Amino acid sequence: MASSKDNSMKGDFLLSYFITSTFLAATLAYPSQVSKYVISGFIGVFICYILNLKILLNIMRNPGKVKISPYDEKSFIKVSLIVGIVVIMIVLNLFLGVCLASSLQNGFSNNPSYFDLFYYTVVTFTTIGFGDIIPLSILAKLIAIVISATSIICITIFLGSIYSYRDRD
């Protein structure tokens, strides 16, 4: 039988997935309407961000408890795959934050499209930072700081969970 912590982690992931996919679909389907749901968008992005970091921390503490079904065996590849999916969810959350910040006050240079904003998010997350898209508003600069800090946290948690899992086998 699964413990409440396992069920909590599954529930957190499903809630985060639902919120992220809803806002992502709304942003891509109705780009001209993004500025109308900025406050609820930032609240949703923040909730998903916290839930995904909580999931990563739980996996780092005990990667052996990651199970898709009660009969799953421990698997290094499965843990890596789940951590990778959660990191992708975090990148999508950060992308939504960048889109919301951009819709408020022309927060970025060069009038970027959504693809350009996704590119900016990935480049900032990987800490490359080419400088072709520059955050101009205070909110856009805060989002850039959060993206950079999150990438360091995610890399640390990802590597920590992998090495922790390998040490326990």
d(CA 29, CA 144): 25
What is the reported pLDDT for 165? Answer: 60
Which residue's entry shows tokens 């480049």? Answer: 123
What is the reported pLDDT for 83? Answer: 82
DSSP letter for each residue of 63-111:
GGG--SSTTPPP-HHHHHHHHHHHHHHHHHHHHHHHHHHHHHH--BTT-
Inter-CA distances, 62 with 11, 58, 82, 132, 152, Å: 17, 6, 13, 40, 20
What is the reported pLDDT for 117? Answer: 94
What is the reported pLDDT for 116? Answer: 94
What is the reported pLDDT for 161? Answer: 66
Q: What is the pTM of this model?
A: 0.85
| Torsional sign, CA 53, 148, 27, 81 | negative
Q: How many domains does the chain have?
A: 1
pLDDT along the chain (169 residues), means of 10: 62 92 92 88 93 86 68 69 88 94 86 93 89 91 94 81 61
Say which residues have a Cβ less than 8 Å from residue 80's Cβ, sequence separation at least 6: 162
What is the reported pLDDT for 2? Answer: 45
Domain that holds residue 20: 4-168
Identify the CA nearest to 68 among candidates 81, 58, 56: 81
Which residue's entry shows tokens 């904003």? Answer: 117
